[in-house]
Each structure stands twice: as C-alpha cells, then as structure tokens.
Structure 1
Amino acid sequence: MTAYAKLTTLDQPGEIACEFNPSTVKVTKSATWHTHPSRHSKAHPRPQFVGTGPQSLTANLLFNAFDRNGRPAATPVPVAVQQLLDWTKPTQISQEAGNSTPPKVMFSWGSLIMIGFLSHVEVDYLLFGDDGVPLRATATVAIQSIPQPTPGTNPTSGGISGRRSAQATQGDSLASIAQREYGDAGLWRAIAIANDIDDPGRVPPGTRLLLPPRAQAVALSAVGGDPR
C-alpha cells in the first residue's frame, strides 16, 4: 500500500493529504563555527563550535482537481491553498493569550517526520476552470523545526525506555491527563492507542495509564499507529 505525504496541525484541527507525493524533499541544518586568528601559529587554528541553527524541510506539493475520471480531489485546490496560508498566521488561542505563536505542523511521509512551523509558502496556480476556480496548483512549503521537550525516563517494568505512567483520578478524561502530563490536551489519542482504550471520554479512577514519550505521542496523535 502506497504511503502518502501529509501535513497535519498538532494544536488545532487540520490536515492536508497529498495525492501526489513530492518528487524531492530537502532537509537542511546549519552549524556555526568560529576560527580565531593566531599570528604566531604555524598550523591553521582549530575552529570552535558556536551553535547550531534550526533544522528545516522544503517540499513541493501538487494539488490537482482536473481530469480525474470523475474522482473528486481529496482536498479541493482552493481549500488546500487557503489552509496552507492560514497556517502561517498565529493561532487564535495564542493571540488571545497575548503571546502570538504559529500553529505547530507535522510533515509526515513514511519514516520522514518534521515537526515545526510553516516559515514560507509559495503557490503557483497552473490551471483554472471556466469559472476561474483553480484546478491545479503547486505549493513550495518550508517548515522550520521546533525543539521538542526531552521526555522523562521512568520506564515501567518490561516497557520501552523513556515511557512513564500516570494514574487517573476522579473525573479524569484522556484529554485532561494529556494536558496535565504533556501540556497539550490534543495528545489524548496517543494515550488511547498506548493503552488500547476505545472510549476516551472517561477513565475509571485509579486506572494506571502508560504514557509514551512526548515526541512519540505527537506522532501517534497525528497519524495513528501502534506504539509498541
């Protein structure tokens, strides 16, 4: 079965599925080194490490609603383009809190996963219908990585290193536990997958729940899968 690339927001609902996988994906990361001149040194002075820049990913995405033999596009071209443009704006929650931050997005394609924010979106409309509605477009997107918190290390017996556990209290839901443990209620799905829970609305008090590391929880909540 072919795996298709997708863009998903992690702190608000939203997903764009790519019907045509990008032909190339560029990943870059910079490092800064400084070399101090030495007048009397016979050998070239050794560079001193200063720091690294954020990792970034660039991909060209194709959106097409033309000549599909009657099959509708997974995401209409105007909708997909507008979604990308909207993801370059601060989230409403962060604006209301007075601390404007961009939506966190995840680009996933097989084992290639990048979590960050959209730093650049450039769209070329290639084809229009008789009514002026775009039928085909390419979008060049650049994602700059956001550092992920280092997960705790308190593995349960027989579990995977880095996993923790939490005990549900009266009135807890998976969302409230995710908010308390990860600082993000949207990661409840990862807890449900890790513990084979079908009804995430309420959890019996005293239930001991396995908590995947945060980076893994982000990936699981966005794309689903078996954490084991």
Structure 2
Amino acid sequence: MLEMAKIVVQQTGEEIPVMYNPTELSLNKTVMLKGHGSQIQFQRVVDDDLTLSLFFDTYEQQTDVRAKTNKIVALTQPTVGHAERREPPVLVFTWAGPLFVGMITKLDQKFTMFLSSGIPVRAELSVTFKAVLTAEEDQRAQGKFNCRQLWQVKENDRLYLIAQQALGDPNQWRLIAAANQIDDPLNFPGRTDIGRMLVIIDTHGESFNEVANA
C-alpha cells in the first residue's frame, strides 16, 4: 500500500494528506561557525528551510480544487490558541514517519486548469517551512549535549558546589538538576544518588534562564 505524505497540525492532531507524494525532498542543515583559521569555533547546527512542491488535481471529479488547497492555505494564519502572539500553527511534515517540524513562512499557489465555469481544478503549491525546535532540540543543535562533562556524586556533594566546580557558577545548580531530572534538589544527594554519574552540559557561559529559554 502506498504511504501518502501528510501535514499534521501539532496542536490539534489534524491531518492534511497531500494528493500526490513529492517527487524529491531535500532536508539540509547548515553548520554555523565563528572565527578564522585555527580559531574556528562551533556555534550551532541550523535546519534549513524545507520547501515542498505539491500538486492537486480534481479535474476527474469536476470539483473545485480549492476545497483541498485551502486547507493548506489556512495553515498560514494564527490559531485560536496563539491569537495573542499571532503565531501560525506548528506543523509536522510526515512521510513514513515525521521528517520536519516547522511553521509555514511562504506559500505560492498557482492554478493551471479551469472548468468552463472558471472553477479551478488543478493547482501547484510551493510551501516553505521554517524549523521549530523544542528547548531540548535547540540545546542539542548548539552541541551542548556533545560538549558535556560527567560528575560522579559523592556523599558531601551539593548541587551548588558541583555547579561552582564544574561550571564556575553556583547559580547553575538548577540547570544540573533539570538536565538530570533531579526532582528534590534540596535533599540531594540521597542515599541512592551516591556514586551516580551526573551529566553537566556545556552552557558556554549562559545562565540557566538563557539556556532554558533558548
């Protein structure tokens, strides 16, 4: 059975199938660096925009093709839940599994066939998506889980002391707690925590709030 690509609205789960699968698909990444020569430093990986070419044809049914294309056009508008921030919905393009999560930033619609009444029955859409990341995905894109330290917990350790020694800032204890799913930091370390390995992610000198809101 042919697997059809579809666009899923993340907030509601609504699925909008494409009429014909794309004939080609490019999923590209750009590595952002700074510096020159021997002083080049990694900044982050950025998902390039995804542009899809979609084809719709309702000539055989003799029906208005806009009944199908308008469902995609509507995705350029803010949703009810995002009315205050005026954000279009977050979408997932799936084809045998999720391939890209983003928002539509550009939509070109061209009608190429019409009935004698003037009703369009064939359309070509070019849809451009800009990537949207979760907080964890954004940290991964910045390489923070690759540039990490490991810390073995000792009996007299406290999160603020670990933060001071590992990151040079005792206020980063909340970042360590969040990264290691420590739910009760005031009573850390407990008996079962002794000997545990904590992951200390690279903050590049950023505060907890900067990392959490990145």
Question: What TM-score range do you get, normalising by the shorter chain?
Answer: 0.5 to 0.7
**Partners in 1 of 2:27 and 2:68 — Cα distance?**
23
In structure 1, give the amino acid aligned to 2:30. S
State the match for 1:125 in structure 2.
Answer: 111
SS at structure 2 position matched to 1:114: strand
In structure 2, give the amino acid aligned to 1:65. T
Superposed displacement of residue 150, structure 1: 4.1
**Partners in 1 of 2:89 and 2:98 — Cα distance?**
20
The partner residue of 2:73 within 44, 64, 85 is 85
Q: Deviations over 1:137-178 (max 9, x none)?
A: 111111222113549xxxxxxxxxxxxxxxxxxxxxxxxxxx
In structure 1, give the amino acid aligned to 2:44. G
**TM-score relative to the length of structure 1:** 0.53
State the match for 1:19 in structure 2.
Answer: 19
Between Structure 1 and Structure 2, which shows a larger proportion of helix residues?
2
Q: Does 1:8 align with 2:8?
A: yes
Superposed displacement of residue 11, structure 1: 1.5
In structure 2, give the amino acid aligned to 1:27. L
**Partners in 2 of 1:29 and 1:56 — Cα distance?**
9
**Partners in 1 of 2:23 and 2:101 — Cα distance?**
20
Q: Does 1:31 align with 2:31?
A: yes
SS at structure 1 position matched to 2:101: strand
State the match for 2:41 in structure 1.
Answer: 48
Native 8 Å contact 1:106 1:113 kept in 2: yes
Superposed displacement of residue 19, structure 1: 2.7
SS at structure 1 position matched to 2:33: strand
**Alpha-carbon spacing, 1:120–1:130, altered in 2? closer, same or farther (3 Å):** same
Native 8 Å contact 2:92 2:98 kept in 1: no
SS at structure 2 position matched to 1:7: strand
**TM-score relative to the length of structure 2:** 0.57
Q: Deviations over 1:52-98 (max 9, x none)?
A: 3344322111111013xx5x88xx52022222222112112221xx2
Q: Deviations over 1:75-128 (max 9, x none)?
A: x52022222222112112221xx2222101111111352121111111111111
Native 8 Å contact 2:5 2:93 kept in 1: yes
The partner residue of 2:126 within 140, 148, 152 is 140
Measured on the aligned residues, the alpha-carbon RMSD in Å equals 2.4
Q: Deviations over 1:169-191 (max 9, x none)?
A: xxxxxxxxxxxxxxxxxxxxxxx
State the match for 1:60 in structure 2.
Answer: 53
Q: Does 1:111 align with 2:104?
A: no
**Partners in 2 of 1:55 and 1:66 — Cα distance?**
35
Which sections of structure 2, spanning at least 5 residues, go unmatched? 138-214
Q: Deviations over 1:193-215 (max 9, x none)?
A: xxxxxxxxxxxxxxxxxxxxxxx
Native 8 Å contact 2:21 2:54 kept in 1: yes
Report matched runs for 1:161-180 at 5 Å: none
Superposed displacement of residue 21, structure 1: 0.7
In structure 1, give the amino acid aligned to 2:17. A
